[in-house]
Structure 1
Amino acid sequence: MTPYAEISSKYLTLADELLPDRVRGLYLTGSIPLGDFRPGRSDIDGVVVVDRPVTQDEVRPLHTGLPERPYFDVVYLTAPTLAAPPDLRASVVCTIDGQLQAGGVSPVLWSELARQSIAVREVPGLKVHDDQQALVDYTRANLTSYWAPLLDRVENRFADAPGDEVIDGWIIPWCVLGVPRLHALLAEGNIVSKTAAGEHGAATFPAYAGLCRRAIDHRAGTEVVFTAADAIDAVAFGRTVIASAGEL
């Protein structure tokens, strides 16, 4: 049994014991249905369909009974909520890095659920509002509202650092695989995995192919050392990708 299958099964067992008849469905999203789950790198992402909105206190016992890693990161939503367009102003119960909190929703999650999810517990007749134009619009906005400022912060952090300074391993893959993932969606119309995003970046922007492949190797579990010079290259790559996305 895979780690995510085992943890998902344990979660449903706890849910049925502690919140009987409340958890109607569990769908895995993210890297698992895309075939890109990497032990030690990936989290378990998903959507829990509940009979009515839950509070953090109601579901906390379910999560305290799960292993700490991989993180079991889920969003609690009702079937009627999923049948309508996502309310970007809404705050819903979710877990991020395994911690319960109030979070937002987006067309990305709706599209993932509708197109690329695995039903661990299926809700008969579940309807999910999947709007391609909303997905595209949200993706374009995310490139400028999240990724562009993040690249600015990375540049400011490492602009004056020695080029050979070793930096935290997650920073470069996060940027190098994240930005082309959105470019791939705009180019191909669908959500791709982080690994596929790196391959898309290498093929579409060959000047940065080496950086993309190192990020892919890191995601696969290979020990890769990244430096401040790589961070500056990642910023240049990210800005190139964002500029190209604006022309799609």
Structure 2
Amino acid sequence: MFPQDAARNAARYLGIADRLLPGKITGFYVVGSVALGAWRPKRSDIDFVAFVHGDLDDRQLRRLRALHVLGNAATVGRSLLRADSSLPGTMNGTFVSMADVQEPVTKIHALASHSGWTFTRGGGFDVNPVSWKLLQQGGIALRGPDPADLRLDPEPERLRAWNLEQLKVHWKNWAERLLSGNAPRKPLVPAHRLAVSRVLGPPRLHHTLVTGDLISKESAAEYALDTFGQRWLPLVRAALAQREGEPFPVSPQPRELVRMAGEFTLEVVASAEDHPMPG
């Protein structure tokens, strides 16, 4: 089911895109938390993959950058009023040439992407085996054929290795920063809240690595406790409270939450490294 607020934001964004780049966007698919049935009003962003006709020249890329601003202006305005730099409701997406739609996903080079405050030319993280699997299985088509008819190649044989690499490099480095006292920060977001907001990412990857299936952050919370033990309950409870917009627990203290997030993530990474490759 497509939540009404998310559908309204997506339709407005696509309408602005058509005015700036008439005739260019031939396929538009909502993925992420919406596709997983886990989207939360005022808490979640809206992820998409857009397929465009042909390439994008410099003028069109400039218009795409303008789309990033104009298409998210209302969301950014509301976030600034609430002093919320996470920009819930923002349209975050990747633009790919329709000519590449049937290529193996690791061979596809995105034309552009934007996420949060950032616009990127010539790249897009969400062109990867996990995102393509979700697009193929659960993507919501606002324009274009059903995802099952796109003949996508998410390279399922690479799924485990891709998840493991993300855990060993990106998430391990993130955990080590948390434990070093150099925790990542964002404007208006204390370090412990940023750490807590991201801590369900590693168990999601671990679950996919072990089972091959994709899950939401809420399901990752349950999986984390089932797999790694109830000692992480205070951390998981804080992560869910923040995701649901509920009052933040008074315990553990902020520094303790940052430490726990780092230690938990390293435990997830170590478990993933020890998990045997499928036969």
Band of TM-score, shorter chain: 0.7 to 0.9
CA distance in 2, matches of 1:23, 1:89: 17
The partner residue of 2:267 within 228, 240, 245 is: 240
**1:150, 1:18 → 2: CA distance?**
38
User: What is the CA–CA distance in structure 2 between the aligned matches of 1:229 and 1:15, rounded to whole Å?
Assistant: 44
- Which whole-Å CA distance do the structure 2 matches of 1:245 and 1:65 have between them? 41
Conservation of the 8 A alpha-carbon contact between 2:159 and 2:212? no
Indicate conservation of the 8 Å contact 1:48/1:77, yes or no: yes
Report the TM-score, using the length of structure 1 for normalisation. Answer: 0.88
Q: 1:156 aligned to 163, 167, 180, which one?
A: 180
Contact kept in structure 1, 2:159 and 2:209, CA below 8 Å? no
Alignment partner, residue 201 of structure 2? 178
Say what the alpha-carbon RMSD is for the aligned residues.
Answer: 2.2
Counterpart amino acid of 2:193?
A: G
Aligned residue for 1:35?
37
Q: How does 1:21-170 map to 2 (within 5 A)?
A: 21-54=23-56, 55-68=60-73, 69=75, 70-87=89-106, 90=109, 92-102=111-121, 103-104=123-124, 105-123=127-145, 125-157=149-181, 167-170=191-194
Q: Which residue of 2 aligns with 1:193?
A: 216
Distance 1:76 1:227 in 2: 38
Question: 1:203 & 1:213 partners in 2: Cα distance?
Answer: 14
- Equivalent-residue separation in structure 2 for 1:230 and 1:62 (angstroms): 37
| Inter-partner Cα distance in structure 1 for 2:17 and 2:170 | 35
Query: What residue identity is the alignment partner of 1:233?
Result: M
Separation (CA, whole Å) in 2 of partners of 1:192 and 1:37: 12
Distance 1:181 1:87 in 2: 21
Which of the residues 2, 7, 10 maps onto 2:9?
A: 7
Name structure 2 gaps, 5 residues minimum: 76-88, 184-189
Q: Summarize the Cα distance change of 1:64–1:229 in structure 2 as closer, same or farther, 3 Å threshold.
A: closer
Q: Distance in 2 between matches of 1:156 and 1:63?
A: 35
Deviations 1:2-36 (A, max 9, x none): 22211211122223333222111110111111111
Secondary structure of 1:111's partner?
A: helix
Q: Does the 8 Å CA contact 2:90/2:116 hold for their aligned counterparts?
A: yes
- Show structure 1 runs of 4+ deviating over 6 A: none
Checking the alignment, whether the CA contact within 8 Å between 1:10 and 1:66 is kept in structure 2 is yes
- Given the superposition, is the C-alpha separation of residues 152 and 35 from structure 1 closer, same or farther in structure 2, using an over 3 Å criterion? same
Deviations 1:214-242 (A, max 9, x none): 21121111121551111111211111111
Counterpart in the other structure of 2:186: none
Q: Which amino acid aligns with 1:128?
A: L
Provide the residue aligned with 2:83 in structure 1. Answer: none
